[in-house]
Structure 1
């Protein structure tokens, strides 16, 4: 049975719900038109779209699929739609409670059903990453022999959580986190739909913004919060749901977070890291997290700061922040806040240099000002027929044949000879680069 306390099943075996079921359950899409945020999986001819179409004799066989995405993005919903729309029989197992015996019983029933009536079976396995290797192994014969069409859902990277034989026999479909516009569509629908609040209450704009930020990309959480906030308003004898009601529902004082706050706090966050005030940087990180800012956006800003403001003064910081961004994407909130904190502290406390940033900006400015003549002839490509006759490569000195592997010859175009773009600082690792670069430039000038 479904984790949301189903009241029964329909003719295909898909759970059905009464009016007393939670709002998030009642509002689960019952048609493809109600699905939001996953257009990339539902285009014409897409494997998932074919699964959502009625099974036809002679039609191409659709592989089993693994749906990978964050919580509340529609994995269970899509599995239910597959069963309803295709007319296939539906069976559901939760990896939290099912064992090998349960898997074998479902597969055996599917084989009998196919033999007796020709009806195919969709087996939905929620949180498949929680299955042990032996439990996943038990699914292999059923998937390989197409006794069932497996639709498995996971919030963890299947490359690490699903055994290779099962992964190779299934299509991996990645669900995108829902953006703010998609969450708003779901909230607005729940306010007006008869399955939901039926137009009995309204949601103030500030309350909508607060609810969307707190919910993040989780559709289920957005509707759970809406239901609790609506309950708070109803208990107070009101039909309008306010920010205060959302605060009660979320059990927290919400940070007011409009567009100006987004830009202002982000700006202060970056400038605090650049200015090496680690405490201020952590404060602004906490404000963004508490307001429901997308952790992937925060991770991107940290990476940019590592490149722009730390640079080669501590070249190890950029790969650290890249690894942090990847970890944030894999882990998700709330644990991702620990990873973000570590990355922020590393950037804020690192020695700083914007020399690499300044170098590329100045070089681009020269190009846009019309500077930058022809490439010197001895540096041009000499590998094609006729290049030698044009003087290409003539007089070129191979750097590794020169003392210290520094060949003293002209590299810049004539109109830029003597120009210096990169001027390293004496901070951190760049102190060593400064000394080495001074000697390199001396050698280059000896032509």
Structure 2
């Protein structure tokens, strides 16, 4: 029997949930389809967000034959067999070869692909959940563009679930399906941006429940908990409690209480909310720790990337590492204070006149306009610094950044004080 997730595959790019940075008027993939010209691409992103579906749509919309292989199971022979079929597709505009988990192909397999790519006989679209700049051979990366797919927003997954319920009712001639909003939100949050996982879980729940009468299906919260073998945390993913919990999480880290921070992390993860946790940790690293521990954001990014790759329950380990690091780090809000101060100036000033010596002078006629004529190149001076004005007219003495009272920022402040007052 065909799975529900397969039945609900989008039939057009407009039906693809999320990925608005790639799909839409003027966006990369939509523009390719409009022009009828595809490039070799590596799709990079977590599972269940539409990479295979989009590849299939690109082939259909540009009238190309679509052949799909999986690098974890298919061999070099399978690749060659697929490529040898090229001559059979004379009635179409070519072949789009899609290879899932392309990072698992060895160098020899990838070299075979390169020969066909360079001849222009195929369009290769590979997909990977690993960072292709590290996991895929550089020779292949240099001949393709990396297209990053983002995890689906919670709202995207909820919309997909609601669409699936309507489809299921129509397919099975059901008037209504009674299931609580909290249950649907739990299914969505448990998926962590993976639509296929959400639809598979929903289908398990639907298949396990019979209609109470000819036209209505009743699904209780306990039914959902029994099938998913997880207790539903009673907070509203759209409502106040969810955001209150995230707020308490950030304030506890800002307040350097690692134990409270870990408790709120556990509560969020029990609700299956991996995406919000990752985003909040990255914000905290810049907003609350900032330059007091400049390496924190790099470490947190590595931890959150690891969490998305691992998924729950293992994701709890790198996320706990990030939480403890941030909670126990020295704190500084100098970064957010500085940028917000600059943003406020923009909002309150109608026109900012850029200094003439900072404007572009690399074009004919720039000299006569005074562009870049008095610019002084700092690298020609001691300590790579020379005093000159960089601010727009009227803001020459304006200060946005005020160093925090921590070891790193105080050392930086002393360094520049010695140089600028020398």
TM-score by length of 2: 0.72
Pick closer, same or farther for the CA change 1:203–1:307 going to 2, 3 Å: same
Match of 2:254 in 1: 274
Q: Which residue of 2 aligns with 1:37?
A: 18
Query: 1:130 maps to which residue?
Result: 104
Question: How far is 1:313 from its partner?
Answer: 5.1
Residue 392 of structure 2: aligned partner: none
Distance 1:251 1:363, change over 3 A: same
Q: Deviations over 1:349-400 (max 9, x none)?
A: 234456777788899999999xxxxxxxxxxx99999x9xxxx9xxxxxxx9
- 1:204–1:240: 8 Å Cα contact kept in structure 2? no
The alpha-carbon deviation at position 40 of structure 1 amounts to 4.0
* CA positional deviation for 1:312: 5.5
CA distance in 1, matches of 2:85, 2:50: 27
1:177 corresponding residue in structure 2: 151
Q: Secondary structure at the match of 1:122?
A: strand
Following superposition, the deviation at residue 328 of structure 1 comes to 5.3
2:263 matched to 1:283?
Answer: yes
Match of 1:254 among 232, 235, 238: 232
- Structure 2 unmatched runs, 5+: 349-356, 360-366, 375-380, 388-396
Given the superposition, is the C-alpha separation of residues 135 and 267 from structure 1 closer, same or farther in structure 2, using an over 3 Å criterion? same
> Structure 1 residues 199 and 40 mapped into 2: Cα distance closer, same or farther (>3 Å)?
farther
2:322 and 2:19 mapped to 1: Cα distance? 31
Deviation at 1:101, TM superposition (A): 1.4
Other-structure match for 1:229: 205
How many angstroms apart in 2 are the aligned matches of 1:131 and 1:175? 21
- 1:305-357 CA deviation, whole Å, 9 max, x = no partner? 3455445654543554355456556x363454433211211122234456777
Does residue 293 of the first structure (1) align with residue 273 of the second (2)?
yes
Corresponding residue number in structure 1 for 2:3: 22
Sort the Cα spacing of 1:51 and 1:123 in 2 relative to 1 into closer, same or farther, 3 A.
farther
Of residues 91, 100, 123 in structure 1, which corresponds to 2:76? 100
Unaligned residue ranges in structure 1 (runs of 5+): 1-19, 54-58, 370-380, 393-399, 408-416
Q: Secondary structure at the match of 2:127?
A: strand
Contact map agreement 2:103 2:136 (CA 8 A) in 1: yes
Secondary structure in 2 matching 1:124: strand
CA distance in 2, matches of 1:122, 1:315: 44
Q: Where do residues 50-199 of structure 1 align in structure 2 (5 Å cutoff)?
A: 61-111=37-87, 113-114=88-89, 120-193=94-167, 199=174
Pairing partner for 1:333 from 264, 287, 311: 311
Q: In structure 1, what is the Cα distance between the partners aligned to 2:52 and 2:346?
A: 54
Do the aligned partners of 2:67 and 2:97 also contact (CA within 8 Å) in 1?
yes
1:349 is matched with 328
CA 1:40–1:197: 2 relative to 1, 3 Å: farther
CA distance in 2, matches of 1:85, 1:423: 54
Length, aligned pairs only: 388
TM-score normalized by structure 1?
0.69
Aligned mates of 2:163, 2:285 — CA distance in 1: 42
CA RMSD of the aligned region, Å? Answer: 4.7
**Post-superposition offset of 1:153:** 1.9
1:206 aligns with 2:182: yes
SS at match of 1:41: coil
The separation in 1 between residues aligned to 2:240 and 2:259, in whole angstroms, is 22
Q: Deviations over 1:202-225 (max 9, x none)?
A: 433222211111122111011111
| Larger radius of gyration between Structure 1 and Structure 2 | 1
Q: CA deviation at 1:424?
A: 5.8
Question: Given that residues 71 and 218 in structure 1 are in contact (C-alpha distance below 8 angstroms), is that contact kept between their aligned partners in structure 2?
Answer: yes
1:245 to 223, 240, 243: 223
